[in-house]
Amino acid sequence: MEILNFIIPFIILLTIVVFVHEYGHYYFARKYGVGVTDFSIGFGREIFGFNDKEGTRWKFCLIPLGGYVKFFGDRNVFSYSEQKELLKKYSEKDQQKLFVVKPLYQRSWIVFGGPLANFLLAIFIFSFVYMFSGKDFTPAKISEVQIDSPAQQAGLKKNDLILSINGNEVKSVLEVPTFINTSLQDTILMTVLRNDQELSLSIKPKEIIGKDNLGNNAKKKIIGIKISPIDNEFNKQKLGPATALFYATKETWFVTKTTMNFVFSMFKGKADTAQLGGPIRIAKITGQVSQYGFVAFLSIMAYISISLGLINLFPIPLLDGGHLMFYAIEKILGRPLSQKTQEGFFRIGLFLLLSLMFFTTINDLKDLGLF
């Protein structure tokens, strides 16, 4: 039963996030007149489905780990000569429904539509949460500075009000640990307000192996301060639509920026690759978070949606970003790359994705203590 408590929320979350992603592709395909034969949630044998009036088969399949949209005449055609051969197989009316005959900007929007939908879903979820549950605006005032801690050595004092961390404005006491632990620099630049004066201090945090809020092992950065709400009361406010949208967009951008910084640091060999997780870890965290209620479940869905959208924009063949990379090359050269060249890139992309899946699976098994 405990496994079901993890798997069921994960499948629900993944189904929604994947559906939104694929619907982004579907929306722009239909907008630009591309025929869509299949809209599938999952892979493998179909469990159930139906046909709409446009001839699209909407279906749920046995393996619920992804999904796809299949276009009319589904083939990746890379050269003009092959396009001509493909066009011979269809009537003039059906040719207008082919993806490959569409202008470059329309094909780009169709491909970009999936990741775009994921970002919009995250913004919608954050906005919903801020409007109906509220957003915390408790001032981040230091109530204690531990002796001989990095904070004390840097000059932080009790009653300092934290204004920003690494350029990120601190609006809530809850943001302080987030900004500290997502920092990839050796030192943290913190701006505080003390006696009506702003001070900028450089702090070198300590790294420890501890527990996150869900009880999982995690590397944490600590500077040796305690922050307590004034009179132990949090200032949580329900926001109006415009203000909620502003903060939702800001949160989505912060998560995107932080993730990109982590990826770049990983390639430089400076990031902790043990933080990379795959479906097993995501399922575990989703199950843990869902036990804290509907709002917590929605929040983790927003973060996963951002991750899915961002990963798909990586310039790796087989991903949406890989297709956009090829379209950029096509725009520069004035023609698409040859089929042989693109197939070579796709083999490289497949190798990279399989390697990433293997690496994250090993991390997941280590996290479960099975490796």
Query: CB neighbours (10 Å) of residue 52?
Result: 10
Taking the C-alpha atoms of residue 198 and residue 162, their distance in angstroms, rounded to an integer, is 10
The single residue listed with the structure tokens 């949580």 is 236
CB 32 within 8 A of CB 96: no
Structure tokens at 7: 């798997």
Residue with tokens 């800001």: 250
Neighbours of 207 (CB within 10 A): 11
Is 22 a catalytic site residue? yes
Phi-psi region of 211 (alpha: psi -120 to 50; beta: other; left: phi over 0): beta
User: In which residue are the tokens 């209620």 written?
Assistant: 293
134, 239 contact by CB (below 8 A): yes
First-to-final CA distance of the chain:
23
Catalytically annotated residue among 22, 85, 92, 175: 22
Q: Determine contact, residues 363/281, Cβ cutoff 8 Å.
A: yes
- The CA distances from residue 327 to 64, 95, 125, 261, in Å, are 30, 21, 31, 25
Catalytic residue ranges: 22
